[in-house]
Structure 1
Amino acid sequence: MKKLYIGLLAVIVAFGLYAATNQKASLGVVSAQDSSFRQARALLEDERNTVDIVNDYGPSVVAIHVVVKGQRMAPSFQNQLPPGMLEQLPPQFREFFQGPAMPNQAPREFKQQGAGSGFVVGNSSEIITNYHVVKDALEKNSVDQLEGATITVVFPNNDDELVAHVVGVNALYDLALLRLENPNQAPNIKAIPISNYEAEVGSKVIAIGNPFGFASTVTTGIVSGIDRSLDGIGQNSPSLIQTDAAINPGNSGGPLLNSSGELIGINTAIIPGLSVGGERGNIGIGFAVPSNYLRDSLTNLRKGGFVSVETKPRLGIRIADVSIYDDVRDSLNLNLPEQGIVILAVEDGSAAQKAGLLGSQYEIDFEGQKVPFGGDVIIAADGIENPSTEDLIKDVFSKNAGDTVNLKIWRDGKILDIPVKLAVVDANAEQSPSYPQPVDNSIYLGITVEELASYPEELRGQFSLPNNGLLVVDVDADSTAEQAGLKASRFSVNYNDRDYAMGGDIILKADNTVITSIADLKEVLTNKKSGDVLNLVVLRDGEEIRLSINL
């Protein structure tokens, strides 16, 4: 009986707690217990989201095997283990880190390995991967396979290796489209949708691939950064997505998905870490090519062929952001727009040269550093105001030979509208311009000067120089000019194979006489004797100052 009473009491107490809890909830009071429950429920919802996406699109991710001349192509992570580590690995892993046979060893045939990953886009027989995954099976700069090379894909839950071939390549963004030789062999699975939105830092991501040959491996994380650049990824150094989702060798070409199951990137690279013990592995820094590059390239990939810098129509210019002059802009009083893309060089025979675009006309030698200067500055391209270099490249590469890029150019303070008809340019074409040779004219006072009237009008305009006056090129040590504080040129500019001094004081007046030539200054000095004072008005960094020199 006591047991029964105790049981009834426990039920009554539990019911009372339940009622009290409900009452608190109804009164808007949330207990710590409720909060913990909700947090757990939120985690379950996130997990459910991941599971649903993997169930929906995991079957769309394939393993890609590449064989060249009868030997399995090992992934790029061969020979990266510290000494002695290979023997410590389980046997099934050792193949992934063993390189080709040494000269004194018998050639060995590698067993099947996942050289990379890919995913279905469009119908089941079309597969996207990284170009570098299949590159070794192709002729140079071509989609034609090497003799004896094979490319096969394996769908999840199916051991059959289905033969595929490369239809199209975009080497600019490290993308390749494969197609099954026999489309009827493809399972009936859905394509992974491509997101129409850019990745946001902090948003959830899911990576699916075949690291180390483990099919359909799923890892999760967040977008750690955007607009990253990494040398060696594509010919065009695309802006990359950075993620902390674990990406390992073999993940290349696999999809990076958002929480809606949409493609936001194609996994392409990792920065391998090295632990204190010498082990290499993922350190939470992986990179993916953004999906917008695939979306923009997919039509041309399906048309087939090889797209690279050499095959795409280009402007034929070398460019940099105008911010490269930020360190010298103020000190040298450079006349430049605040934003834009400066043209450093124009390739001979290019579309840009035919349209009349100008590259750097001379070099600034500033504190031992040579900086090309005097080129046109692009301040708008096809309606995009103040474009970045990436904006311009993307705009140009979206067009075909014969299309026009409408540029707005800043040149010597003037705005010009210049249409450029695109053409394929020889990547090895020579770039103009050429450079140096100084001219000095020494006179009394221990200074060397040059007449600004002899400077090209374009040069004076670029550096905001007056039309007349004497620019001080050099000041002799311990001279009366040095004692008075006269400043010499700080750098030179080469224009049409002649060096022009820049950055020094500019003598505008001497004893109230306007100075336009060396002869003018000599005329003033002929009336002076030792002990007299020469009063100068000089222009220094855009401001007029007065100096007195004791002769």
Structure 2
Amino acid sequence: MKNLSKLLLVSILGGALTLGSYKIFFEEEIPAGLPPVSNTAAEAIPANYSGNIYGTNADFTEAAENTVNGVVHVKNVAVFKGPRTMRDLIYGNHSGGKALQGAGSGVIISPDGYIVTNNHVIKEANEVEVTLNNNKTYKAEIIGTDETSDIALLKIDAEGLDYIPFGDSDNVKLGEWVLAVGNPFNLKSTVTAGIISATARDLNTYDATPQSFIQTDAAINPGNSGGALVNINGELVGINTAITSQTGSYVGYAFAVPSNNTRKIVEDIMEYGDVQKGILGIKGGSVNQRAIEELNLQTSQGVLVAEVTSGSGAEKAGLQEGDIIKKIDDINITKFSDLTGYIYTKRPDDEVEVTFLRKGNERQAIVKLSKFETYVISPIKIEVANATDEDLQALNVEHGVKIHRTLSPKLPASELVGTIITAIDNKRVSNVGDVERIFRSKNPSEEIIISIVDKNGQKQRMVWR
């Protein structure tokens, strides 16, 4: 088991790890500039087709030809002024210049130049350069990013581009053929083939928020980050994001953010400027053997509700501690990442039908999702959320925000998650907006002083320099 744990060491393509996922529930209105979801059922082969296209005679040439021009090479460029090295100083090179910080891939999603990539590919870039398959290079504007999901939206000034249409990642099947298209090791326009190995895969080892990825055995390596995972019809079903490896290179396990999740993030960034997060308002976990034995459960799959948040849509709809969620809308829920992978695609005030078991009896309830506000304090790698009245009462404090999750494996998540931050730089905070305002006006070089109340009710001050 220890060897297996070592094997499953997550190594991000391109040298960074930022995992997350969302997907989308489409409505009729589509934001300008973003093509509709591909609906090729009339002329294309469906995912559950039983013929030999998924057998040894599978032909990927059409899908490859239709997608290779829709994938670009993304370069993270640092711009500097004056001498950069001792050699520059000695030889009088004071003009400055550019340096490549990293590179990856991106997917053109509209003919007018919108491109999706991974956030870690363009993080901390002074400039972003995009090179098309025809060798034309453009400077790209960063429209928006979501660090949690590791998705970024870029825009180049171009028209009439080849693009890859979105497919429906909810419909991908285990064993279905897929292609990974990207630029591994700076090898432009590389296509590899594999199958869908798993769906709703959670890679979280230190994060309080379960993730939901498509797993594939298509060969993916550093440089594939932000590239396309497409089905046999040439439709985008995922954004290649991570691999599991002892060496940092492909060993058979690769992971992609589902395309529905990606599309929802893109639409939110384009319409709202940030990602809109809707939540049920429960805490819980996947049904496991211990829960089955201790609670005498009659099912081995689903999400066991451990707590219902006061004032949430779940509470108003009548969900209770001990309920077992089995289905949301038409999505079967077998584990917690199934639930988060679907709910995170929704927006506040969306309604979902929850099918659950209570004392063995199946019930349904319509839950209106509430808004989940968070803020990432990037310098110290934590994410905070608004604290509920119950959170504050439990620690006997009158105000503060809750540490929702940690973003670094070096931080003790078990100790920090759930604690209350009452002040930052000696300024009282009561909600996420207070935290955001403090850091918006703060000099990045200044030290950060955090006043917290830990899970034992003890007050502490922490200083980051």
TM-score by length of 2: 0.56
Cα 1:253–1:291, aligned 2, differ >3 Å: closer, same or farther?
same
Name the larger-Rg structure: 1
Partner of residue 290 from structure 2, selected from 317, 321, 327: 327
Q: Residue 429 in 1 paired to residue 409 in 2?
A: no
Pick the structure with more helix per residue.
Answer: 1
Partner of residue 123 from structure 1, selected from 103, 111, 129: 111
- Summarize deviations over 1:472-492 as a string: whole Å, max 9, x none: xxxxxxxxxxxxxxxxxxxxx
Kindly tell me the number of residue pairs found equivalent between the two proteins.
Answer: 318
- Summarize deviations over 1:32-54 as a string: whole Å, max 9, x none: xxxxxxxxxx99x86xx445444
- Summarize deviations over 1:65-95 as a string: whole Å, max 9, x none: 2235639xxxxxxxxxxxxxxxxxxxxxxxx
Q: Does the Cα contact within 8 Å between 1:114 and 1:210 map onto a contact in 2? A: no
- Residue identity matched to 2:80: G
Q: Residue 59 in 1 paired to residue 59 in 2?
A: no
Give the whole-Å Cα distance in 1 for the aligned partners of 2:366 and 2:168: 31
**Stretches of structure 2 lacking an aligned partner (at least 5 in a row):** 1-54, 374-384, 395-465
Partner of 2:282: 317
Give the whole-Å Cα distance in 2 for the aligned partners of 1:178 and 1:306: 14
Superposed, which structure 2 residues align to 1:22-37 within 5 Å?
A: none
Q: Residue 194 in 1 paired to residue 152 in 2?
A: no
**The 10-residue stretch of structure 1 (251-260 or 411-420) with the greater mean CA deviation from structure 2:** 411-420
1:255 is displaced (CA, Å) by 0.8
The alignment's C-alpha RMSD in Å is: 4.1
1:249 is displaced (CA, Å) by 1.1
Instruction: Give the 3-state SS of the residue equivalent to 2:180 in structure 1.
Output: strand
Partner of 1:163: 139
Superposed, which structure 2 residues align to 1:149-548 within 5 Å?
A: 149-160=126-137, 162-171=138-147, 173-180=149-156, 182-183=157-158, 186=159, 188-196=160-168, 198-231=171-204, 237-274=210-247, 281-307=249-275, 311-321=276-286, 323-324=287-288, 326-327=289-290, 329-330=292-293, 332=294, 334=295, 336-338=297-299, 340-348=302-310, 350-353=312-315, 357-359=319-321, 375-379=322-326, 381-382=328-329, 388-407=335-354, 410=357, 418-425=365-372, 427-429=385-387
Instruction: Give the 3-state SS of the residue equivalent to 1:132 in structure 2.
Output: helix
1:284 is displaced (CA, Å) by 2.7
Cα 1:345–1:264, aligned 2, differ >3 Å: closer, same or farther?
same
Identity %: 36
Cα 1:346–1:208, aligned 2, differ >3 Å: closer, same or farther?
same
- Summarize deviations over 1:526-548 as a string: whole Å, max 9, x none: xxxxxxxxxxxxxxxxxxxxxxx
Cα 1:303–1:220, aligned 2, differ >3 Å: closer, same or farther?
same
Q: Does the Cα contact within 8 Å between 1:174 and 1:234 map onto a contact in 2? A: no
- Summarize deviations over 1:380-406 as a string: whole Å, max 9, x none: 544767665344434533433233344
1:256 is displaced (CA, Å) by 1.8
- Residue identity matched to 1:247: I
- Summarize deviations over 1:340-376 as a string: whole Å, max 9, x none: 43221234554445556444xxxxxxxxxxxxxxx34
Partner of 2:426: none
Q: Does the Cα contact within 8 Å between 1:273 and 1:282 map onto a contact in 2? A: no
**Stretches of structure 1 lacking an aligned partner (at least 5 in a row):** 1-41, 72-99, 138-148, 275-279, 360-374, 435-551
Partner of 2:419: none
Cα 1:209–1:417, aligned 2, differ >3 Å: closer, same or farther?
closer
Q: Does the Cα contact within 8 Å between 2:114 and 2:155 map onto a contact in 1? A: yes
Q: Does the Cα contact within 8 Å between 1:121 and 1:128 map onto a contact in 2? A: yes
Instruction: Give the 3-state SS of the residue equivalent to 2:67 in structure 1.
Output: helix
Cα 1:357–1:153, aligned 2, differ >3 Å: closer, same or farther?
same
Instruction: Give the 3-state SS of the residue equivalent to 1:189 in structure 2.
Output: coil
1:417 is displaced (CA, Å) by 5.7
1:121 is displaced (CA, Å) by 1.0
Question: Which structure would you say has the larger RCO, counting Cα contacts within 8 Å and 6 or more residues apart?
Answer: 2
1:268 is displaced (CA, Å) by 0.9
- Residue identity matched to 1:61: V
- Residue identity matched to 2:111: N
TM-score by length of 1: 0.48
1:253 is displaced (CA, Å) by 0.6
Instruction: Give the 3-state SS of the residue equivalent to 1:128 in structure 2.
Output: strand
Q: Does the Cα contact within 8 Å between 1:407 and 1:418 map onto a contact in 2? A: yes
